[in-house]
Amino acid sequence: MSLYRLTLASENAVMVYFEQKMAADIAGLVQQAMPLIRQALGQHLVELLPSYASVLVVFNPFSCDHFAVNALLNKALAALSPNTSASGRRIELPVYYSEQSGPDLALIAKTKQLTIDEVIKLHQQQLYRVYAIGFAPGFAYLGEVAEQLAMPRLASPRAKVPRGAVAIADRQTAVYPAVSPGGWNIIGLCPTPMFQPDNDPAMPVAVGDEVQFVAISKAEFLQLGGEL
Amino acid sequence: MSHFEVDYFEVGYFEVLSPGVHSLIQDQGRFGQGALGLTNGGPLDASSAHWANALVGNGANALVGNSANALVGNNPNASLIECSIGGLQLKVHCSSNLCVTGASLALTINGKAKTLWQSHPVQAGDVIELGMVSQGLRAYLAVAGGFQIAPHFGSTATVVREGIGGLNQNGAKLQPGDKLPLRASAPLAPRQFANAMQPDFDFSKGLSLRLVEGYQQPLFSSVARQRFYLNHYTVTPKADRMGVKLSGPAIECTSQSLLSEGICYGAVQIPPDGQPIVLLNDRQTLGGYPKIGSVLSLDCWKLAQAPAGTVLSFEKIDPQQAHNALLLARAYDARLLAEINSRCSSAGADHDNT
């Protein structure tokens, strides 16, 4: 069975689909595919959007067409290896977990019949993979959250989620890079800026990296530049 | 020297007296930054924006053979202003040439009515006013050489939602008092886009959007697809630079939950309520709703210019037809531009003789 399939997305875009699941081996395939696609398409490439189990390939329709792009992709993706797991950097992100900084901690604890300390501990226990970056600049989708913590999105999204909010939705977690509306459950605040347009790189994480959350105190949070 | 070559002098500026309803700096858009979650931005009506630039000499085929101009202008990616709904007022602080295209509105320079889709020389002290739109929603104001604005992640396109791009690289829309830098230019012989060639912004008879099927198209039953093509949909007020929500007979999809995946320009997503959303320039880069296909890029401008209440339908085309349409449109534009430039050139020669 092929590791991927190609599907037309638009007049000048192709989706490369892998098995549709949130899993480390699939993330590994996405990561492997990116440089192969970049190299194969060269100047024809306009945009490349990786996600959990797919890569959107946008090409210049004035230099090639679907027929040519599919041929280039098939040739390049023949080099995919199913047994290579993703390799990324490991990045530690500090989190000030508390009822003050995490207004939904109590709700999660109650719903899941856990103590607040158990919720905090469970969130840190997992090593998360950066599966995708999108929705907003610097918004990294991390997975997977422990089954016991999987909380659905809020019934009614908040109009204003603070910058740095560490939040959970189903089996995903993320740090909000900027103040924005949002429906995820907030459990803490991270003082590390997730998107700094004037820095290079602009983000502390990239797709494929692994993230470890580490609890810090309120004093440490403030010392690291966090704002309450 | 022929009159369609632009002479550039020192750097000057246009001052924003009033930004009107919503005015943004745009270039052709921001590409290759998807891995950071940055969207494309760019003019909602790419064709009108292209012609605004082309008519002041910023087109791809203009000014060929003049190396000095190649250094300072001649850039189809030049930064211009997208003014939605109208009301923009600018004060000129250096000699330049400008052109306004797109939606129908009253353009005046120092209170005198001026023609849209035509270049006009201006000088320091002039006041440019755009009235409110009467047909269409977005107008484009370009200047010779383009506004000189520092790119942010490779583009000047303003994306307010992201806080990226624009005059101060912070995603801000234009504000009163903003100074928009440009290189001064000597008066150009006017370039004009013939009335008959201008796009029709009267959408009262409805419009048709060509669509290439793709993405999760197999998850829509043949009945659902028939319903999608045979019925009319109405543009709702939920329309902005991200996308346009339509209302009409609900389209059912056999699957409601997808892993989030890349969304391309023109993608038609069908959320659980069955009401299609066509995603445009400032769309989110990833999303998890099923998509039936993508509207042909050449037709997306219509959606961005169509007011709420406009009735539309979708017409399926295959990818080869879409590709042919793109190539034809580009060839047509190039021929039109060459004609405009040659007419302008001979007009300039006449002018020299009198």
Let me know whether A71 and A96 are in one domain: no
Mean pLDDT of chain B: 90
Question: Which residues of chain A form beta strands (DSSP E)?
Answer: 5-10, 13-17, 45-50, 54-59, 90-97, 128-133, 140-143, 158-161, 165-169, 172-175, 180-182, 185-189, 210-215
What's the pTM value of the predicted model, to 2 decimals? 0.90
User: Cβ A136–B284 below 8 Å, yes or no?
Assistant: yes
Place of tokens 């194969």: A40
C-alpha distance from A203 to closest chain B C-alpha (Å): 8
| B37/A197 Cβ within 8 A | no
Residue A85 in any domain: the answer is no
CA of A219 to nearest chain B CA: how many angstroms apart?
Answer: 30
A10 contacts in B (CB within 8 Å)? 212, 214, 264-267, 293-294, 297
A84 within domain boundaries: no
Report the pLDDT value the prediction gives residue B63, as an integer from 0 to 100: 37
Q: Give the C-alpha separation, A149 to B48, whole Å.
A: 51
Residue span of the structural domain in which A12 resides: 5-77
Q: How many separate domains does chain A show?
A: 2
- Beta-carbon separation of B215 and A9 below 8 A: yes
Lowest mean pLDDT among A77-86, A173-182, B64-73: B64-73
B-chain residues near A7 (CB < 8 A)? 214-215
A172 touches chain B (CB under 8 A): no
* Per-residue pLDDT at A147 exceeds 90: yes
If one compares B90 and B341, the residue with the highest pLDDT of the two is B90
Task: For residue range A170-199, list pLDDT tens digits in order.
Answer: 899 999 999 988 889 999 999 999 999 989
A56 touches chain B (CB under 8 A): yes
pLDDT digits (tens, 9 = 90+) for B156-190: 999 999 999 999 999 999 999 999 999 999 998 88
Would the CA dihedral through B61, B62, B64, B68 be positive or negative? negative
Of B169, B264, B330, which is closest to A56 when you measure between CB atoms? Answer: B264
User: Of A54, A77, A100, which one is at a domain's C-terminal end?
Assistant: A77
Residue of A nearest to B164 (CA): A197
Q: Which of A47, A77, A107 is the last residue of a domain?
A: A77
Q: Is A131 a member of any domain?
A: yes
Token look-up 């998509």 returns B291
Mean pLDDT on B129-158: 96
A83 within some domain: no
Q: Do B265 and A10 touch (CB under 8 A)?
A: yes
Q: What chain B residue is nearest to A63 in terms of C-alpha separation?
A: B327
Q: Tell me, yes or no, whether A57 and A121 share the same domain.
A: no
Kindly state whether residues A210 and A148 are assigned to the same domain: yes
pLDDT tier for residue B60 given thresholds of 50, 70 and 90 = low
Q: Can you give the CATH number for the domain in which A41 is found?
A: 3.30.1360.40
pLDDT bucket at B52, cuts 50 / 70 / 90:
very high
For residue B350, is pLDDT > 90?
Answer: no
- Interface ipTM: 0.91
pLDDT band at residue A135 using 50, 70 and 90 as cut-offs: confident
**Residue A140: per-residue pLDDT:** 95
Kind and range of the H or E element at B288? none
- Decide the pairing of beta strands B8-18 and A180-182: unpaired
Among residues 9-38 of chain A, which lie with CB inside 8 Å of chain B? 9-13, 15, 20-22
Give the residue-averaged pLDDT of A111-122: 97
In a domain? residue A213? yes
Taking the mean position of all CA atoms in its chain, how far away is CA A83? 22
Give the integer Cα–Cα distance in Å for B223 and B252.
9
Q: Domains of chain B, with CATH numbers?
A: 8-197 (no CATH), 207-317 (2.40.100.10)
> Residue B231: which pLDDT band, with cuts at 50, 70 and 90?
very high
* A50·B35 Cβ contact <8 A: yes
CA distances from A155 to A26, A91, A169, B77, B336 (A): 31, 32, 12, 44, 54
Residue A69 and residue A115 share a domain: no
- B34 CB neighbours in chain A (<8 A) are 47-49, 56, 134
Are A201 and A94 found together in one domain? yes
Domain co-membership, A69 together with A129:
no
Q: A205 and A140 in one domain?
A: yes
Q: Note whether A22 and A113 are same-domain residues.
A: no
A70 & A161 share domain: no
Angle at B201 between CA B320 and CA B101, to 5 degrees: 95
Q: Quick one: A205 and A107 in the same domain?
A: yes
pLDDT-based confidence at B354, cuts 50/70/90? very low
Q: Is residue A82 in some structural domain?
A: no
In a domain, A184, yes or no: yes
Of B37, B264, B291, the CB nearest to A139: B37
Cβ atoms A32, A84 nearer than 8 A:
yes
CB-based contact B253:B270 (threshold 8 Å): yes
Among the candidates A43, A77, A111, a domain finishes at A77
pLDDT given for residue B8 in this prediction: 60
Clarify whether residues A98 and A70 are in a common domain.
no
Question: Sorting pLDDT into bands at 50, 70 and 90, what band is B35?
Answer: confident
What is the Cα–Cα distance from B174 to B164, expressed in whole angstroms? 13
Q: CATH code at A158?
A: 2.40.100.10
A72 plus A102 within the same structural domain: no
Let me know if B51 is exposed, middle or buried by CB neighbors in 10 A (0-12, 13-18, 19+): buried
Which of the pair, B260 or A94, is modelled with greater confidence? A94
B353 pLDDT more than 60: no
pLDDT at B7 over 70: no
Q: How confident is the model at residue A141 (pLDDT cuts 50, 70, 90)?
A: very high
* B36 contacts A202? CB cut-off 8 A: yes
Please list every residue in chain A whose beta carbon sits closer than 8 Å to the beta carbon of residue B296. 11
Q: How far apart are CA B240 and CA B166, in angstroms?
A: 18
Binning pLDDT at 50, 70 and 90, where does residue B4 land? very low
